[in-house]
Structure 1
């Protein structure tokens, strides 16, 4: 007998945040895109009830809270999002956070950097 898993996700959420290794990056800010998903067992009995799923607005609020902070590394933002999601949604079996920076200061016309963290409940 199988099980059904549900994934609630926000993709390509755009932020302009004071995150960067160099002080001028934190002063000027950078453009970031965040992908965030939470997976958990699907209970079909009341599939049209918001209490049986995750509210996208709540997920977005979590991202906003974390992405507005001044910090040096994307890894710390991704870890904070992941930790907060694990705390809020203990029933989650998988959580994925990926943050993409669109203009790292490499002196290259077109490059994106990306940091991703994945949690799997054991």
Structure 2
């Protein structure tokens, strides 16, 4: 058996997430990472139904990033839950969102929220 990892890194999205009304008007650039692991026997490595399709991961990310929320924690959880639902065989899911240049005093490169799920 093998443990396989499928991931998307640095999916760039402009979205309107933010607690303050002005954040939901002007938006911000976000970078999203999603990583899943699962066990496979690797005997059918050319079968897309036996793996996690990163095109589907991208679609989940894109849809959830377009659904404005006040907190990134909500967005991260929604992405993670959709991935778990689509791929019930996965063992771990890690989703992180970075808000680039968050609008606050000082020079801040990014804020970051991450959530990890491990099947028990």
Name the counterpart of 2:2: 4
Structure 1 length-normalised TM = 0.93
Name the counterpart of 1:16: 14
1:101 aligns with 2:69: no
Q: Which runs of 5+ in 1 are unaligned?
A: none
Number of residue-to-residue matches in the alignment: 120
How far off is 1:20 after superposition?
0.7
SS in 1 for 2:34: strand
Superposed CA RMSD in Å reads 1.0
Q: Which runs of 5+ in 2 are unaligned?
A: none
Structure 2 length-normalised TM = 0.95
- The partner residue of 1:87 within 81, 85, 88 is 85
1:63-118 CA-partner distances (Å, limit 9, x unpaired) = 01100011111000000011111111111100000000012111223421100000
SS in 1 for 2:117: strand
8 A Cα contact 2:11 2:32, kept in partner: yes
SS in 2 for 1:44: coil
